[in-house]
Amino acid sequence: MFLLTLFFLIFSSSLPDTSMTDCKGVQVTDKLVDWGYSKPSVEKREIKAIIIHSSYNALSPDSFSLRGVIKEYKEAGVSPHYIIDRQGDIFRLVPDKYVAYQAGKSKLPDGTTSVNEFSIGIEIINTKNNGPTAAQYSSLAKLVRCLKFKYPIKYILGHSDVAPDRKTDPWQFDWKRFNAMIRKR
């Protein structure tokens, strides 16, 4: 029995672990909310876009307070799927399978207007004057690569790309740097 187990361990570890290939090292902490999302209208929603946002806490002097930002979402009845704090810690607020209220009235390049239905929203905690930290870029890149691996993602866009007349976030976001990071193997 021992040998059989050993054999299995050796054999299975030599197989490429495709389920984890691009999600390795992505640590996500659940902090699920009970507002700001709904079940999709179809059994399994199609996820073809990732929308990147910025948020800060405008309610107290600590602009980077995760608690404060989440409180703001609650008051507005909105939520992203994921939020990344200044230390680069990733929190899941809404499971991927649900439609999170993050993009609002917006449009994808292919003309899709119900963007929430077809996308995953990721918020980075940063202000208009303070861009994302190195830790946030690193975590975001890992998370996006993982999501790209799981879903047929066609677009990775900023909120301002899908709602240019209403939104300016993500602020101070270095797309060149980010794009180079998600291409890196």
Reading phi first (left if > 0) and then psi (alpha if -120 to 50, else beta), residue 156 is in beta
- When the beta carbons of 98 and 149 are compared against Zn ion, the nearer one is 98
What is the pattern of x (binds Zn ion, CB under 5 A) and - over residues 109-148? ----------------------------------------
- Closest contact distance (angstroms) between CB of 168 and Zn ion is 9
CB of 125 to Zn ion, least distance (A): 12
Counting residues that bind Zn ion (by CB under 5 A) gives 3
Q: How far is the CB of 169 from Zn ion (least distance, A)?
A: 4
What string marks each residue from 142 to 161 as x (binds Zn ion by CB under 5 A) or -?
Answer: -----------------x--
**Closest distance to Zn ion from the beta carbon of 16 (Å):** 37
ω into 170 cis (within 30 of 0): yes
Residue 123 a catalytic site member: yes
* Angle between the N-to-C axes of helices 175-183 and 134-150, in degrees from 0 to 180, rounded to the nearest 10: 50
36, 37, 45, 53: which one binds Zn ion (CB under 5 A): 53
Contact positions vs Zn ion (CB under 5 A): 53, 159, 169
Annotated catalytic residues are: 123
